[in-house]
Protein backbone atom coordinates (compact mmCIF):
# COMPACT_ATOMS: atom_id res chain seq x y z
CA UNK A 1 0.00 0.00 0.00
CA UNK A 2 1.46 3.39 -0.94
CA UNK A 3 1.57 6.31 1.47
CA UNK A 4 -1.27 8.17 -0.21
CA UNK A 5 -3.58 5.15 0.24
CA UNK A 6 -2.72 4.93 3.94
CA UNK A 7 -3.27 8.65 4.47
CA UNK A 8 -6.68 8.26 2.84
CA UNK A 9 -7.75 6.25 5.93
CA UNK A 10 -7.56 9.34 8.16
CA UNK A 11 -9.79 12.40 8.12
CA UNK A 12 -8.47 15.96 8.37
CA UNK A 13 -10.13 19.20 9.27
CA UNK A 14 -7.32 21.65 8.53
CA UNK A 15 -6.90 24.83 10.53
CA UNK A 16 -6.44 28.11 8.67
CA UNK A 17 -2.97 28.58 10.15
CA UNK A 18 -0.22 26.04 10.65
CA UNK A 19 0.23 24.45 14.08
CA UNK A 20 3.81 23.65 12.99
CA UNK A 21 6.07 26.73 13.00
CA UNK A 22 9.72 26.09 12.12
CA UNK A 23 12.38 28.75 12.62
CA UNK A 24 13.69 28.85 9.06
CA UNK A 25 16.96 30.54 10.08
CA UNK A 26 17.76 27.48 12.22
CA UNK A 27 16.55 25.15 9.46
CA UNK A 28 19.00 26.73 7.00
CA UNK A 29 21.90 25.67 9.23
CA UNK A 30 20.61 22.14 9.83
CA UNK A 31 22.71 19.56 8.02
CA UNK A 32 20.43 16.53 8.03
CA UNK A 33 16.96 18.13 8.08
CA UNK A 34 15.60 15.14 9.96
CA UNK A 35 12.00 16.31 9.71
CA UNK A 36 12.08 15.66 5.96
CA UNK A 37 13.09 12.06 6.68
CA UNK A 38 11.19 10.98 9.79
CA UNK A 39 7.72 12.38 9.13
CA UNK A 40 5.37 9.51 8.20
CA UNK A 41 3.11 11.89 6.27
CA UNK A 42 5.80 13.71 4.25
CA UNK A 43 4.73 17.03 5.75
CA UNK A 44 8.16 18.66 5.30
CA UNK A 45 10.01 19.42 2.09
CA UNK A 46 13.21 21.42 1.81
CA UNK A 47 13.02 23.87 -1.12
CA UNK A 48 16.55 24.56 -2.40
CA UNK A 49 15.40 27.41 -4.63
CA UNK A 50 13.63 29.35 -1.86
CA UNK A 51 16.10 28.05 0.77
CA UNK A 52 13.25 27.31 3.13
CA UNK A 53 11.27 24.53 4.68
CA UNK A 54 7.87 23.93 3.11
CA UNK A 55 5.34 22.69 5.68
CA UNK A 56 2.27 20.89 4.39
CA UNK A 57 0.70 21.03 7.86
CA UNK A 58 -2.73 19.97 6.57
CA UNK A 59 -1.42 16.38 6.31
CA UNK A 60 0.01 16.19 9.86
CA UNK A 61 -0.83 13.05 11.85
CA UNK A 62 0.07 14.78 15.16
CA UNK A 63 2.54 12.05 16.11
CA UNK A 64 5.21 14.47 17.43
CA UNK A 65 8.17 12.68 15.84
CA UNK A 66 9.42 15.79 14.04
CA UNK A 67 9.69 17.77 17.28
CA UNK A 68 11.77 15.03 18.87
CA UNK A 69 13.96 14.49 15.79
CA UNK A 70 14.85 18.16 15.21
CA UNK A 71 18.47 18.62 16.34
CA UNK A 72 18.17 22.43 16.11
CA UNK A 73 15.04 22.66 18.26
CA UNK A 74 13.67 24.72 15.43
CA UNK A 75 10.07 23.63 15.58
CA UNK A 76 7.31 25.32 17.54
CA UNK A 77 4.77 22.51 17.71
CA UNK A 78 1.20 22.75 19.00
CA UNK A 79 -1.91 20.69 18.53
CA UNK A 80 -4.37 22.21 16.05
CA UNK A 81 -7.02 24.32 17.73
CA UNK A 82 -10.45 23.06 18.79
CA UNK A 83 -11.89 20.41 16.53
CA UNK A 84 -9.25 20.93 13.82
CA UNK A 85 -6.61 18.38 12.89
CA UNK A 86 -6.62 14.66 12.30
CA UNK A 87 -9.22 12.01 13.16
CA UNK A 88 -8.21 8.36 12.97
CA UNK A 89 -11.02 6.31 11.50
CA UNK A 90 -9.40 2.92 12.18
CA UNK A 91 -7.63 3.67 15.46
Residue ranges in 40-69 that form contacts with ligand SF4 under rule CB under 6 A = 40-41, 43, 60-66
**Quick one: which of 23, 9, 25 has its CA closest to 89?**
9
Question: For 68-79, b where at least 16 C-beta lie within 10 A, e where not — what string?
Answer: ebbebebbeeee
Establish if 39 lies at the interface with ligand SF4 (CB under 6 A). yes
Q: Rule CB under 6 A: say whether 14 interacts with ligand SF4.
A: no
Stretch in the footprint of ligand SF4 (CB under 6 A) among 2-10, 24-32, 33-41, 46-54: 33-41
What does the chain come to in residues?
91
Q: Contact positions toward ligand SF4, by CB under 6 A? A: 20, 38-41, 43, 60-66
Amino acid sequence: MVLEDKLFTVKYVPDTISHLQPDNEKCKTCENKACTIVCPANVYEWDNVQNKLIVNYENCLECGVCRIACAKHSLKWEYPKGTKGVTFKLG
